[in-house]
Amino acid sequence: MTSDPDDYDNPIDHDGSNDSEDFDDPDTPDGGSDADPAALAERVASGDLSIHELESATDHETAAAARRLFVERETDATLDAVGRYSFDAADADPNIENMIGAVEVPVGVAGPVPVSGGAVEGAKYLPLATTEGALVASVNRGCTAIRDSGRANARVLKSRMTRAPVFRVTDVTEAEAVVAWVREHTEELREAAEGTTSHGQLVDATPYVVGDSVFVRFGYDTKDAMGMNMATIATQAACDVIEERTPASLIALSGNLCTDKKPAAIDATQGRGRTVTADVCIPREVLEDRLRTTPEAVAEINTRKNLVGSAKAVSLGFNAQAANVVAAAFLATGQDAAQVVEGANTITTANVRNGGETLYASVSLASLEVGTVGGGTKLPTQAESLDVVGVRGGGDPPGGNADALAEVIAAGVLAGELSLLGALASRHLSSAHEQLGR
């Protein structure tokens, strides 16, 4: 069975059947064909073959089908829907282990939202994958308010993918010596780190000391890649130099000062991935017409809810629903979904201008980790979503596409914030969900 991964009109048969004789092997153990999912599932059940070894015994499609049969027998589940997907299983090999199929998430589109950014200019549509009813409608309502007001501005202020290893030293005296060496030999560390990649650049290396632990937070410009793997490999090379040239002993390549996929103030203040912001000025008449509210009402709710309420909760996110839009955009465009944790590090501001005739609103996302190459961006449906935004693949200049994606997502977050704040101000939140039956 063959499939052209670029021809999405050719259906792929995922039921495990195969008319080709190319996979038939009379010497296959147990007398079964290596193209027969049932025979392979039986080999897994008998312990003759490990579940993770199926791809070594057959092609990726048949391996996934055999694994489904095995899991169905073990769990009494039916995996017919999971087994229907539109891409070749081999295309997902870099993204998944023990593949049994794919989970479909509905994808909607919001926009167009006009964005004037450092890397993007013009009206853009934003695909959003979600199971939360009313989310796309909400973002779309905010996009309409932005569009009627002219445009949203957006800028990437900083680009740093970080990795922070932790070293052991004897005492604080030794720690101080290691810190001094790191600060004085940044160029040597940069040479070692950048020797592992043709794209990434080491921008900074900041040491921290806690007793007999020394952390070094490395920051990289990873261009159009999200860059976590790039940063990890480059940091290992730099750590080898530190161990060779100082008394420090590497304990863990990640010491949690990075900080990846966990709420962390360091990401909220110093940033990780793209630090991006977006803003808009909305005339009173647009707010009244589109959101059924006023500049004063939105500004007050934002202060009391997003700022005071978040502060009382000791939240790292001072926003209404930024993670909603970030998560939906991540799923649609093939980003690392777990990094929505950092994406929630968002502050929303709103204030009244021009004697009450205008609402100024902004969102500042401290740590939005996105890429347009590598990872899940290569999967067919996710690549199509990137095409909708116009940012698939590497940019010109390098990093331009990932910057543009970050700016469009920021504009989408701004639209979502405006819509939800407007719904709260007009007391339409519950009635909107009720009307949509969600």
Task: Tell me which residues are annotated as active site.
Answer: 132, 336, 433
| Closest CA relative to residue 369, chosen from 164, 193, 162, 165 | 162
| Closest CA relative to residue 188, chosen from 238, 119, 223, 255 | 238
- In this structure, the strands spanning 166-168 and 249-252 are antiparallel
Separation of first and last alpha carbons in the chain:
42
Neighbours of 46 (CB within 10 A): 10
Using left for φ > 0, alpha for ψ between -120 and 50, and beta otherwise, residue 356 falls in left
The CA-based dihedral angle spanning residues 221, 405, 419, 260, taken in that order and rounded to the nearest 10 degrees: -40
**Residue showing tokens 């009313």:** 134
Residue 326, C-beta contacts closer than 8 angstroms, at least 6 positions apart? 340, 343, 344, 365, 368, 409, 413
Q: What SS3 class is residue 188?
A: helix
Torsion sign, CA atoms 34, 39, 42, 48: negative
Torsion sign, CA atoms 13, 373, 119, 323: positive
State how far the Cα of 260 lies from the Cα of 263, in Å rounded to an integer.
Answer: 8
| Closest CA relative to residue 223, chosen from 432, 406, 363 | 406
**Residue showing tokens 């991964």:** 5
| Closest CA relative to residue 142, chosen from 335, 282, 324, 343 | 282
State how far the Cα of 405 lies from the Cα of 120, in Å rounded to an integer.
Answer: 8
